[in-house]
């Protein structure tokens, strides 16, 4: 099995994200770029069937055309959002899509989230944007993510290498230099969402 340590990392982070209610038992996905044209991706159904308690064999190895090179699971239909990050921003080496409990309030309302905590000020914006609605798993949604990435790559003050957006009616998408960077930003965004929600 190739990239065993990277697979173990992805499994550990995914379970931690679920245990901290930063995603739920009905969705989300994680990926890592491990070579120029090779990526590790959580197989579909890991939330529903395994409550994110994954093993390395539950992580698929795919190429840049989303062909499965290793693994027996089914590829998530949301891989097109991940591909947008890898294709449009060479700094991105990991992508995380999740359904965090407090951030879902903003997704459900189709609202951008005001930045009220110091931890997120490095992004250089006064809000986390909510992208225009497009149906889940469609290329239309992936294209909206691509437009957001194109705008974000023009930012010059990204000291922490991760950024993300709210997916209208859906969840959150984050790209970063590693899954650890994505995980850190997800935690900071969820804390910010909690603060906004309880002080309204």
Q: Is 103 helix (H, G, I), strand (E, B) or coil?
A: helix
Residue 144 backbone dihedrals phi, psi, to 5 degrees = -65, -40
Structure tokens at 123: 């992004």
Q: Distance between CA 63 and CA 66 in Å, rounded?
A: 5
Q: What is the CATH number of the domain that holds 72?
A: 3.40.225.10
Look up the domain containing 101 and give its range. Answer: 4-199
- Using a pLDDT cut of 90, give the percent of the chain over it: 86
Q: How many domains are contained in the chain?
A: 1
90: tokens are 């060479």
Total-model pTM: 0.95
Structure tokens of 176? 């970063």
Instruction: Give the pLDDT confidence of 123-162 residue by residue, as tens digits.
Output: 888 999 999 999 999 999 999 999 999 988 666 555 558 9
* Predicted pLDDT of residue 155: 60
pLDDT tens for residues 29-47? Answer: 999 999 999 999 999 999 9
H-helix or E-strand containing 127? strand 127-128
């Amino acid at each position: 099995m190739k990239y065993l340590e990277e697979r173990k990392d992805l499994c550990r982070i995914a379970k931690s994200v679920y245990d901290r209610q930063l995603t739920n038992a009905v969705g989300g996905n994680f990926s890592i770029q491990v070579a120029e044209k090779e990526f590790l991706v959580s197989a579909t159904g890991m939330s529903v069937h395994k409550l994110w308690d994954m093993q390395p064999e539950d992580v698929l190895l795919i190429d840049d055309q989303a062909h499965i090179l290793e693994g027996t699971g089914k590829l998530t239909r949301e891989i097109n959002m991940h591909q947008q990050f890898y294709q449009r921003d060479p700094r991105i080496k990991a992508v995380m899509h999740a359904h965090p409990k407090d951030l879902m309030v903003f997704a459900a309302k189709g609202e951008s989230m005001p930045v009220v905590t110091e931890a997120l000020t490095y992004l250089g914006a006064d809000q986390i944007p909510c992208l225009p609605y497009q149906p889940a798993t469609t290329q239309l949604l992936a294209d909206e993510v691509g437009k957001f990435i194109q705008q974000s790559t023009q930012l010059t003050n990204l000291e922490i290498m991760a950024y993300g957006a709210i997916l209208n009616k859906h969840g959150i998408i984050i790209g970063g230099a590693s899954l650890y960077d994505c995980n850190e930003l997800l935690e900071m965004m969820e804390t910010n969402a909690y603060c906004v929600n309880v002080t309204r």
